[in-house]
Structure 1
Amino acid sequence: MTKALIVATNVPKFNNVNRATGLWLREATHFHKVIQDNEIDIDYVSPTGGYIPLDPLCLSGDSMDNIDWDFYLDNHFRNHYLATSLSPKEVTAEDYQVIYFAGGHGAMWDFPENKNLAKIAQQIIANNGIVSANCVGTTALLAMRTKDGKRFTAGKKLTSFSNDEEALNGLTSEVKFLPEDELKKAGANFIKGDPFKPNVVIDGNLITGQNPNSATAVGEAVIKDLLK
């Protein structure tokens, strides 16, 4: 039975300014819907397990569409997936064929150096599974290593939230780092599209999306890979 593991942040606040953060809801819901519509079971995991906070900005205005509202108003989604996510020690990597790192600025603080999550992803890809990520979630790849100890990102074609998008957000000076810069420093072949437009980059069993509006396309690329 094919299963997918969605990874989300536990961080509710920037560590340097009084600004709330967390998971950007669309990055989970739009990917979740594609996977669910293809009758694939889903679990959620977070760095510490338990409650997954939502960035309050993702719940306002044009940030929410019908898919987001359907999930947000679903008691099982909120009370099971978001409130009681698994911890890494509760995850058996061999049970999953797909891992997906969802974004939200909170991920900057608990994804890039998380060896426990990296180990799960490394085991999944070693078993010919798929490692996927979106937006800031791509920074989780910074902790991954190859079998010979080299950076997983070295030479990989990928994308994430771009410097241009962070500048348009007005958060360049407040975020922990710029994902585009850090991934390039780690040897990645960074490929970006227009700000806030869907952009997916595929390199073998690695599938990455640029921004929240890319989450559906990442899910579709994952399904296409699974079916080939």
Structure 2
Amino acid sequence: MKKVLVVETNQATYGARKEATGLWLGETTEFITQLQATGWQVDYVSPRGGYVPVDPRSLKYLDAAGWRCYQDPAFQKVALARTQAPEQVDPTKYTAIYFAGGHGVMWDFPTNRQLQVIAEVIYQNGGYVTSVCHGIAGLFNLKLPNGTPLIAGKRVTGFTRAEEVLAGKRRLVPFLNQNLAQQKGAKFVKRRAYAQFAVTDGRLITGQNPFSATAVAKKLLVAINQEGSN
């Protein structure tokens, strides 16, 4: 059975501001729905473990499958209330890691070295590193064994400058994903704002915005199937 590790945020606010953010819930539920339908096992981790706050704005965008997840006590327990801490994770057990987004990740993904090591081990073992929207923040400090940024020279996407402006959060975030990806040497690609879009570059799969989680999952499944047929 293939296993994927879903990474979620513990950050409930925009920095020190008293304004709610957190996990964009559909970025988890839409992704896992695709994988679980094909028999994958899903585990959850967050930078500190335990409680994962949900961005309240994300609830109005949930599809039917998302609402079933949100109301499922088993999902609530493992994905939102009692996520694993990084030190509890054995990265050798996973075929892929997926960094879900929501603005909260911009504060607790980039600096968590334990999560970075988990992702690096999965990638070095031939696994896949994937993200969607602001989840790309989890990729910025990943490195290859030679010290090169993992995303350098790779085609990647994430929440764009234009989307941040349209979301009204440009002045609240600590950095812009598009700018930082380019600073790390990535080839940042995008489509129009809020259009579904995901891109594969080898074993790196990234999605642009909250409407791209399903596309990331489907590209991961395609990549795995192609690998198995070779």
TM range (shorter): over 0.9
Match of 1:207 in 2: 205
Q: 2:218 aligns with which of 217, 220, 227?
A: 220
Kindly indicate whether the alpha-carbon contact (under 8 Å) linking 1:16 and 1:174 is maintained by their aligned counterparts in 2.
no
Match of 1:186 in 2: 184
How many angstroms does 1:85 deviate by? 0.5
Match of 1:51 in 2: 51
SS in 2 for 1:143: coil
1:114 equivalent in alignment to 2:116: no
C-alpha deviations, 1:199-223, integer Å up to 9, x for none? 1111000000001100001001111
TM-score normalized with structure 1 length: 0.97
Q: 2:100 aligns with which of 87, 102, 105?
A: 102
Q: 1:156 aligns with which of 154, 157, 160?
A: 154
TM-score normalized with structure 2 length: 0.96
Please identify, of 19-28 and 76-85, the stretch whose mean Cα deviation from structure 2 is larger: 76-85
C-alpha deviations, 1:24-81, integer Å up to 9, x for none? 0010000010110010111000001011110111113xx1221221111111111222
CA, structure 1 residues 194+185, in 2 after alignment: closer, same or farther (shift >3 Å)? same
Please identify, of 67-76 and 87-96, the stretch whose mean Cα deviation from structure 2 is larger: 67-76
Structure 1 residue identity aligned to 2:43 = D
How many angstroms does 1:182 deviate by? 0.9
How many angstroms does 1:16 deviate by? 4.2
Runs of 4+ in 1 over 2 A off after TM superposition: none
- Runs (5+) with no aligned partner, structure 2: none
Please identify, of 71-80 and 26-35, the stretch whose mean Cα deviation from structure 2 is larger: 71-80
Structure 2 residue identity aligned to 1:176 = P
Alignment RMSD (CA, Å): 0.9
Match of 2:19 in 1: 19
- Runs (5+) with no aligned partner, structure 1: none
Please identify, of 148-157 and 127-136, the stretch whose mean Cα deviation from structure 2 is larger: 148-157
SS in 2 for 1:142: coil
Structure 1 residue identity aligned to 2:99 = F
CA distance in 2, matches of 1:64, 1:34: 15
